Amino acid sequence: MKQKPNFDFSQPNKLDRKALWLVLGNAFWGIFRSLWPIFVALAINGLPNKEDWKYAYLGFFAIVVLLIARLSINYFYYSFQVIEDELIIKKGWLNKSKTVIKLDKIHEVNLSQKLIHKIIGLYIVGVDTAGSSKTEITINGIGYSKALALKEVLTNTEIETTRETSEIHSEEETEQHIGEQTENEAISKPVVQQENISHNIVIGLSSLIKIGLTRNYLQTFGLLVAFSFQIIEQLRSFFSVDDEEASKYNEMIQEVNFERLGGLLILILILGLVLFIMLFNLGRTLLTYYNYKIQLKNKHLTVSYGLTDSHIIAVPSNKVQIFQIKQNYFQKLMNLFEVSIKQIESSENNKKKKGLIVPGANQAELKQIFEVIYQKDLDIKSKAYKPHKRILFLKFLWLCIPAAIALGVFYFTENLSYSWIILPFFVLIYFLIWCGYRNEKLYIEDDFIILKNGVWDISTTYLQINKIQKVTVRQSFFQEGKNLGSLDLDTAAGTVTLFYYDFELLQNLANELIYKIEKNKYKWM
C-alpha cells in the first residue's frame, strides 16, 4: 500500500488557491494583448490635459476591479464533488449551473499543463464523455496529487470490476461484503491495490530524436512538390527579361542560363527545405513528446509527456477502438514503431481527437502495450489476402483524369511543349500506387481484422471484431463480372475499408463478423 494524502471528494471541493492567480494571470495577459496598442499610443502621445489622466487611470482601474470581481466570483462559486457514481460541478453566483455526469459515461480523464500551469504547479483535469463535445468538462487548476486522486476516483469503475473478479477467484467472500468495501474505497481511497502488476516504459531522448527525424516524410515530400512549382515560378520571373524585347535567339540563351544556374539554386533550395522540415519535425516531436512515460497497470495505460505543456492521459483498455502501428523503411532499420491508439471520436471535433500517439516504441515495448490492451500476442499467424490486381488498372484510369486535365490546361494555354512534364509525374505517382498495392495485405484472425497498407509509412491496423459497429458490403456494377467488392467496417473511431477484394471472401467475412458479434454479445466499450 502506497501512502497517499486523503482527499474527500464527497464534499464540494474548491479549486486550488493558487488557481486564482492562474485565472487572473490569464485575464491580465488577455487584457494586455488586446489593449497594448492603446497603452503604447497613450505613452507616446500623452493626453492633452493633465486632468484627463485622472479619468484614464480611473477608467482603467474600474475595468480591472470589475474584472477581478467577476473572476473571483467565478472562482469562489466553482465547486466539484463526487457523490456515489456522479461527478457534480456547480458554477455561478447569480446564474447558477449544475452539471452532473455519471461516472460510467466517462471514457477518458486526462491531466494537462500549459506553461503557466507548470510555473504555478497546477493541473487541468479534462473529462471526456461519450456524448457530444458539449458535455466535455475541464476543471482548471488543482494540485498534482489531488488531480491524480480525482482521476482515479473518476476512472475507478473498471477497477472495481476487475478487483471484484480477482477477489472472487482468490477467496470465497460474500458479494455483499465486496460491494460495501469497494464502495467505501471508491469514495475515500481509490486504487491502491493495483500497484503490483505494473510496467513502465520510458521513451528515451535518442528514440525521440530518431523518430523525429524519420516521421512525416510523406507530408514533407508533398510539401516539397507543392513548393517546387512556386520556386520554379519565382526563379523564372527573377531571371527572365521582358519577352518582347529579346529576340528568339537571346531567349534561348537565357533559358539555358536559367536552367544551369537555376538548377543549382533549386537543388540548394530543396536541400535546405528538406533540412528545414526535418529539423522542424524533430523540434516539434521533441517539444510535444519530451519525457514520454507509459505506465502499464492491468488493463490500464497511463501516459505522461510534454516539455512546455505536459499531459497525463489514462486509457482503459476496453475503450480502445483501433490500434495502429506505423513504420517506414528507416524506422524499420532502427527497430522503432509509431503507435496510435484510437478512441471514440466525437462527431463534432474529429480533428481535435487523434487519439493517443506513442512515438517510437521498439518491438518489445510494442508487444507489452498490445498485451496490456488486448491480452493477446501481437504476432500475425493467419494467411494474407491481397486485393485483386484489377485495382491497379482502376487506379491507372483514375490517374488518367488529372493527367488529361493537365494536358488540357497545357493545350489551351498553348504551352504544349511543356506537356512532357506530365509523364515523369505520372510514372512517379503510378510507381507509388504500385508500392501501395504491394504493401497492402489483409489478415483475418479469430478476433481481429488486421490490415496492412501504406506507401512509405506502412501502417498496420488492428481492429478487434467486437469494436465493429456496422458492416457495409459494397459492389459496383463493374465489379460484378469479376466477382469483386469492398467491405466497410465502421467503428466509433473511424472506418476501416477493405477495398477490391474477392467478393465471396468479403461476404463470408461479413456474415462471420456479424455472427460473432451477435452470438457472443460482445461489448464495444
Partner 1 sequence: MFENDTVELNQIPHYQEVDFNSLHSDYVKILRMNAAITLFVGLAISTALFFVFEDFERFYFIGAVLFVFLNIAIFPLIAYKKKKYAFRQHDAIYSSGLIFKSTHIIPYIRLQHVVIKQGWYAKRLGLAALQLHTAANDNIDVTIPGLTLEDAERWKSYLVNRLQELEDETEA
Q: Residue 499 CB, nearest distance to partner 1 (Å)?
A: 13
Q: How far is CA 475 from CA 54, 99, 311, 480, in A?
A: 78, 47, 45, 7
Residue 102 as a binder of partner 1 (CB under 8 A): the answer is no
Task: Out of 130, 246, 286, 378, point to the residue binding partner 1 (CB under 8 A).
Answer: 130
160-173 CB burial, b ≥16 within 10 A, e <16: beebbeebeeeeee
Q: How buried is 55 (Cβ within 10 angstroms: 0-12 exposed, 13-18 middle, 19+ buried)?
A: exposed
* Concatenated DSSP letters of 392-450: HHHHHHHHHHHHHHHHHHHHHTT-GGGGGGHHHHHHHHHHHHHHHHHH-EEEE-SSEEE
Q: Which is nearer to partner 1, 112 or 491 (CB)?
A: 491
Read off the C-alpha cell for 477.
456494377
201 near 368, Cβ under 8 Å? yes
Length of the chain counted residue by residue: 525
CB of 146 to partner 1, least distance (A): 33
Amino acid at 159: I
Is position 507 an interface residue for partner 1 (rule: CB under 8 A)? yes
User: Looking at beta carbons only, is 125 or 449 nearer to partner 1?
Assistant: 449
3-state secondary structure of 206: helix
**Binding of partner 1 by 518 (CB under 8 A):** yes
Q: Which residues pair with 337 in a beta bridge?
A: 361
Q: Does 492 bind partner 1 (CB under 8 A)?
A: yes
3-state secondary structure of 205: helix
**Rounded least distance, CB 468 to partner 1, Å:** 8
Question: Which of 95, 347, 413, 417 is close enough to bind partner 1 by CB under 8 A?
Answer: 347
Indicate whether 237 belongs to the interface with partner 1 (CB under 8 A).
no
Cα(522)–Cα(525) distance, rounded to whole angstroms?
A: 9
The nearest distance, CB 446 to partner 1, in angstroms, is 12
CB of 487 to partner 1, least distance (A): 10
Site membership for partner 1, residue 511 (CB under 8 A):
yes
- Asked if residue 134 binds partner 1 (CB under 8 A), the reply is no
524 binds partner 1 (CB under 8 A): yes
Name the amino acid, one letter, at 464: Q
Q: Which residues contact 49 (CB under 8 A, 6 or more apart)?
A: none
Q: How far is the CB of 518 from partner 1 (least distance, A)?
A: 4
Instruction: Give the one residue of 33, 96, 169, 521 binding partner 1; rule: CB under 8 A.
Output: 521
Dihedral sign (CA 211, 217, 219, 220):
positive
490 binds partner 1 (CB under 8 A): yes
470 contributes a contact to partner 1 by CB under 8 A: yes
Q: Which stretch binds partner 1 (CB under 8 A): 157-165, 211-219, 270-278, 502-510?
A: 502-510
Query: Does 476 interact with partner 1 (rule: CB under 8 A)?
Result: yes
309-317, 363-371, 382-390, 513-521 -> range binding partner 1 (CB under 8 A): 513-521
Does residue 446 touch partner 1 according to CB under 8 A? no
351 binds partner 1 per the rule CB under 8 A: no
The contact set with partner 1 (CB under 8 A) reads 130, 344-345, 347, 350, 468-477, 488, 490-492, 494-495, 507-508, 510-512, 514-515, 517-518, 521-525
